């Protein structure tokens, strides 16, 4: 048996809703096939009031062994460091987190808010939100950069707004089957198995990206062109497997003609959602994309783009479907 406790801080519950839709494996499979005992979860826990508090207290004291502590949502510090903007079970949620995290064999942050503060931590960060071990890209967060769980691991970050359900359940299975220490993490403590590649990896419009052919208007996007040039798609700069592990096992934003908004990166939402920055490619001098594919520079990118446009074959300018 692997025990799991899941708490929610400053959250919209979106990651719980996502988790409950998991398919490979499903939330039920975690219990029936992989021996995970859910001690309590905000949407699944049967206990309320004093009974729920007994579970939290037993975990916090070490009386109840805790294998996996999952946290969803931000850790809220306001007002004035008291955490009283987010009361839970008779005390600030941050105090529960401070006691529970060191008791867990593994700590998992689910969604952008828990990983690095997410949308609530966007300036002016009104309730003083932080992630478990990061504030945006800066290491530290609520638990501090030196924090390690009982098994000596840093917080495992599974970002996204929300995280894809199967990223969550597959990592929980890896932990429950004794492979927690084999989960390779990137510099933001994201599992590399999911976050080494880009949203662009597997996108059905990547040939249009290659030949620099732009989608010109919304709705055209599912048939021709790439959303990078006019609609602000962040697929080439965003680490996610959204086009490898499809949503609902069916599709992805970019396959459906919707730009990737980069939700698995600490800077999300980009440009703080200032008017005119959503679904619009930000450009220098009205021509050069401000943000360019990871690993290149503006001069190299522009030279490559000019050559690709010249080399573009006719088919790259056409509708990719025949009806």
Does 113 help bind ligand SF4 (rule: CB under 6 A)? Answer: no
Contact region with ligand SF4 (CB under 6 A), list: 9-17, 103-111, 198-206, 300-308: 198-206
Kindly state the number of chain residues that form the binding site for ligand SF4, as judged by CB under 6 A: 24
Read off φ and ψ for residue 206, nearest 5 degrees.
-65, -25
Nearer to ligand SF4, 58 or 214 (CB): 214
Does 200 help bind ligand SF4 (rule: CB under 6 A)? Answer: yes
User: Where does residue 104 fall: left (phi above 0), alpha (psi -120 to 50 degrees), or beta otherwise?
Assistant: beta
Cα angle vertex 15, ends 60, 31, to 5°? 65
Does 103 help bind ligand SF4 (rule: CB under 6 A)? Answer: no
Calculate helix-pair angle for 93-100, 49-61, nearest 10 degrees.
40
Q: Which x/- pattern, by CB under 6 A, does the window 208-227 give for ligand SF4?
A: -x----------------xx
Question: Hey, which residues between 17 and 36 contact ligand SF4 (CB under 6 A)?
Answer: none
Euclidean distance between CA atoms 24 and 31, whole angstroms: 13
3-state SS, residue 139: strand
Q: Which x/- pattern, by CB under 6 A, does the window 156-175 give for ligand SF4?
A: ----x---------------
Nearer to ligand SF4, 105 or 200 (CB): 200
Q: 219, 258 in Cβ contact below 8 A?
A: no
Does 203 help bind ligand SF4 (rule: CB under 6 A)? Answer: yes
Tell me which residue of 15, 30, 148, 20 sits closest to 74, measured CA to CA. 15
Binding-site ranges for ligand SF4 (CB under 6 A): 160, 199-200, 203, 205-206, 209, 226-228, 233, 235-236, 238, 240, 242, 252-254, 260-264
């Amino acid at each position: 048996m692997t025990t799991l406790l899941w708490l929610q801080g400053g959250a919209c519950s979106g990651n719980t809703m996502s988790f409950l839709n998991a398919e490979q494996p499903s939330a039920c499979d975690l219990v029936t096939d992989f021996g995970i005992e859910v001690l309590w979860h905000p949407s699944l826990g049967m206990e309320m009031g004093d009974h729920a508090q007994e579970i939290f207290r037993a975990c916090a004291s070490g009386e109840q062994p805790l294998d996996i502590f999952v946290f969803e949502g931000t850790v809220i510090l306001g007002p004035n460091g008291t955490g009283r903007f987010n009361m839970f079970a008779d005390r600030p949620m941050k105090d529960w987190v401070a006691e529970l995290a060191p008791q867990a064999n593994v700590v998992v942050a689910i969604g952008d808010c828990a990983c690095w503060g997410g949308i609530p931590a966007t300036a002016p960060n009104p309730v003083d939100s932080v992630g478990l071990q990061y504030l945006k890209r800066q290491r530290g967060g609520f638990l501090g950069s030196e924090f390690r769980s009982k098994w000596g691991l840093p917080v495992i970050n599974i970002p996204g707004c929300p995280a894809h359900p199967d990223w969550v359940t597959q990592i929980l299975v890896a932990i429950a089957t004794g492979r927690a220490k084999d989960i390779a993490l990137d510099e933001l403590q994201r599992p590399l198995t999911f976050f080494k590649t880009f949203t662009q990896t597997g996108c059905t419009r990547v040939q249009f990206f290659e030949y620099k052919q732009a989608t010109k208007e919304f709705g055209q996007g599912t048939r021709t062109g790439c959303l990078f040039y006019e609609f602000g798609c962040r697929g080439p700069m965003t680490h996610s497997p959204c086009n490898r592990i499809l949503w609902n096992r069916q599709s992805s934003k970019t396959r459906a003609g919707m730009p990737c908004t980069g939700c698995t990166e600490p800077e999300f939402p980009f440009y703080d959602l200032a008017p005119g920055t959503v679904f619009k490619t930000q450009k220098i001098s009205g021509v050069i994309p401000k943000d360019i594919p990871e690993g290149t520079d503006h001069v190299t990118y522009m030279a490559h783009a000019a050559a690709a446009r010249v080399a573009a074959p006719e088919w790259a300018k056409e509708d990719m479907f025949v009806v």
